[in-house]
Amino acid sequence: MNSSVQKKCVTNQYEQQVNALKRGCFKDPFSFLGPHTAGQGTLVIRCYFPGVTKVTVKLNDQLIPCKRYLDSDLFTVNIAAAIDDDYTYILDYADCQIEQHDIYRFQSALDHEAMYLFNEGTLEHAYRHLGAHFIRLANVDGVRFSVWAPNASSVSVIGEFNHWQKSQHFMRFNPSCGVWDLFIPELKTGQCYKYAITTTSGTVVEKADPFAFKMQQAPGTASVLQQHGRAIELTDKMRKQRAKRNAVDAPISIYEVHLGSWQRKTNNEYLNYQELADKLIGYVSQQGFTHIQLMPISEYPFDGSWGYQPVGLFAPTSRFGGVDEFKYFVEQCHIANIGLLIDWVPGHFPSDPHGLHCFDGTHLFEHADARQGFHPDWNTYIYNYDRPEVRSFLIANAMFWLEEFAIDGLRVDAVASMLYLDYSREEGQWVPNCFGGRENLGAIECLKQVNLRSYANNPDILMVAEESTAWPGVTRQVDHDGLGFGYKWNMGWMNDSLHYMQRDPLYRQHHHHEMTFSMVYAYSENYILPLSHDEVVHGKRSLIEKMPGDDWQKFANLRAYYAFMWAHPGKKLLFMGGEFAQRDEWNHDKSLDWHLLAHISHDGMQKTVQALNKVYTTTPALYELDNDPSGFAWIDSQNAQQSIFSFIRYAKKISEYVVVVCNLTPNVYQNYQIGVPSDGKFEVILNTDEQRYFGSGVEASSTLISAQKTPSHGQKYSVSLALPPLATVYLKKVSNESIN
């Protein structure tokens, strides 16, 4: 080939490449840009810098000018050097001069063995490989970017460091795994970035990093470079405490919190993580709760979603401070021996354009068919759980919170919506599985794997399902055909008991079963009894305002109900504000109404919850056998006419038990007789009608109550006591040592 023909071929090739670079669509930049062997110990170096006036290569102490190709922004130079020689560019702009490395001389830092596991659906720590990571490569400090976008035509990193130009930092495509990667030297923590993704149709979409450790606050939508930092490590003492407080036979009393509205500053600004650590943790300890459960804190753009439409699953929300401040909050929980759970949302994701929807121009994270991939109720998209990479993404996110922050556990939101293909859909609006059924087989397998890996890697945690149907085996082990959760919210108990308590006491006798039916299935799963945020929003009214009667009766009803709940088998969960009877529905835009505590009624409610937690956590009969039928026995479940419920809670040591009597009418019953299983004396350890709780002050008994050898309710012995109005009373057998 003569020189003129060869030059024409090169020119034609360069024209195509320059046009692709100019359009910001370049799938294989490393094949053209950067250093390439030109033969006989020489390199040809090509670079593309829009807006520069001159480019010079600095090799050792040599300054070698580059030649502009025609009138384009492509520059080339031939130098005598080896392919692995270090050099930099000196870029002259109209107003400044910059020296920088050639990003296209660095080899890929992608771990291809890890990417194999990612494609297989088993990469537990995908967040260590994908996303933006500060590393040192070829003796140069910088950031390795990696993003899964297998169907893109081109992907560029855009950010503050390149003026958001998609033609500056084209990424390398790895066809074996569908991941694009690029190492960019000398970037700084706090710089914003995104991925500019060119789809097969030529459209460019700008997406936040699915694995970003930090995100901008709205209205910003960019990811933010963040050092990964150290994982929180528990001391041996903390590990022992965690194992003890999370055990199935432990007292678990959970305080559910929305960090943005628990308490605010006088100017309505948020408390930061450090302030929350100093105030919230102390308050929770004082009130006697054993655990805090945070509503979702993965970064979310819209306050009104309460965090249930997250965009940054690997980024603790920066509304309350940075990652280090969040770690401080977590560490203070551990120091105070308070368990910390967080809401986790693997059931759906929002339609925000910078999020996961149509990530690379295709339905990558979600199903393409709207009958499978879209939630009509929430206007959100459903993960494609059948896709292995999506399973890796979700499993890794669970591992991220449990291992990097040593969180005690995850409460998994909206599990029912994941399990059923026809969830909230009419006939013809859903697609059956391969067997013709309504079960979402991919979601089931994903949940099983999340639970298996979470418990295997992090013993003594709590995995909790918010599952509102009768799906069998939610808390059964995976190898016994269960989903593998540790606990399930008892939505049936919550719905039935709240319906009952909202009725006028005059009519409760006709709905007695609503308070007793839960014991029919109480041991079918490991249950948590929830009075969550869902019960005090959207026109449902606050808990206190659900109660019937005048103001005194409202408070008496709620105190009695709480005491019934604390005595009922199952762990406990109460949403913030419920402990002092917040009157208004919960409003995420403002603080709880702490000023109400100036009133004796609200102060009395707070003291009631405090007393309940103290009695609960110090009385093994109220928690040790929550999941064992031998831990509960009805004394009288049939007294519908008087709306009285009485039962016994047993400890593992059967001689230790508590007698619980609930009078859910405004009547006072003197000399009320109930059967007890043994002789001896009993003391009143709780009476919700005490005056310090804003009760009427009727005493169940002013002294120890002696059991009489008078059979009653199928028991050999009985005791007689006064039943206060709208009140719950706990009696505990006194040991002989205590009497003496």
Annotated catalytic residues are: 413, 466
44 DSSP 8-state letter: E
Paired with 293 in beta bridges are: 256, 341
CA 519 – CA 620 distance, rounded (Å)? 20
DSSP summary character for residue 218:
T
Cis upstream peptide for 219 (omega within 30°): yes
State the Cα–Cα distance between residues 338 and 330, nearest whole angstrom.
9
CA distance 420 to 336: 40
Beta carbons within 8 Å of 244's beta carbon, 6+ residues apart: 250
For residue 22, count other CB atoms closer than 10 A to its CB. Answer: 15
The values of phi and psi at residue 592, to 5°, are -60, 160
Q: Which residues contact 434 (CB under 8 A, 6 or more apart)?
A: 441
**Residue 164: both structure tokens together:** 């958001």
Outline where DSSP puts E strands in 49-200: 54-59, 62-65, 67-68, 74-80, 88-92, 97-101, 131-137, 140-148, 154-159, 172-174, 179-185, 192-198
Say how far apart CA 449 and CA 614 lie, in whole Å. 37
Phi first, then psi: what are they for 376, rounded to 5°? -65, -30
Q: How many angstroms from the chain centroid is the CA of residue 494? A: 22
User: Around 344, how many Cα atoms within 13 Å sit in the side-chain half-sphere?
Assistant: 28
Half-sphere exposure of 696 (CA within 13 A, CB side): 19
Tokens at 154, concatenated: 């081109």
Q: And the tokens for 713?
A: 């309710």
DSSP-based three-state secondary structure for 302 = coil
Distance between CA 291 and CA 252 in Å, rounded? 7
Q: How far is it, in rounded angstroms, from Cα 55 to Cα 74?
A: 10
| 135, amino acid identity | I
How far apart CA 234 and CA 327 sit, in angstroms, is 12
SS3 content of the chain, % helix, strand, coil (to 5): 30, 25, 45
Residue 657 CA to residue 285 CA, distance in Å, equals 26
3-class DSSP state for residue 416? helix
Could you give the CA distance from residue 694 to residue 701 in angstroms, rounded to a whole number? 18
Q: Tokens 């959100």 identify what position?
A: 380
Retrieve residue 687's tokens: 């009476």
Query: Are 570 and 631 a contacting pair, CB within 8 Å?
Result: no
State how far the Cα of 503 lies from the Cα of 507, in Å rounded to an integer: 7
For the chain, the residue count is: 740
Tell me the two tokens of residue 427.
Answer: 């006939």
Instruction: Judge contact between 691 and 697, C-beta under 8 A.
Output: yes
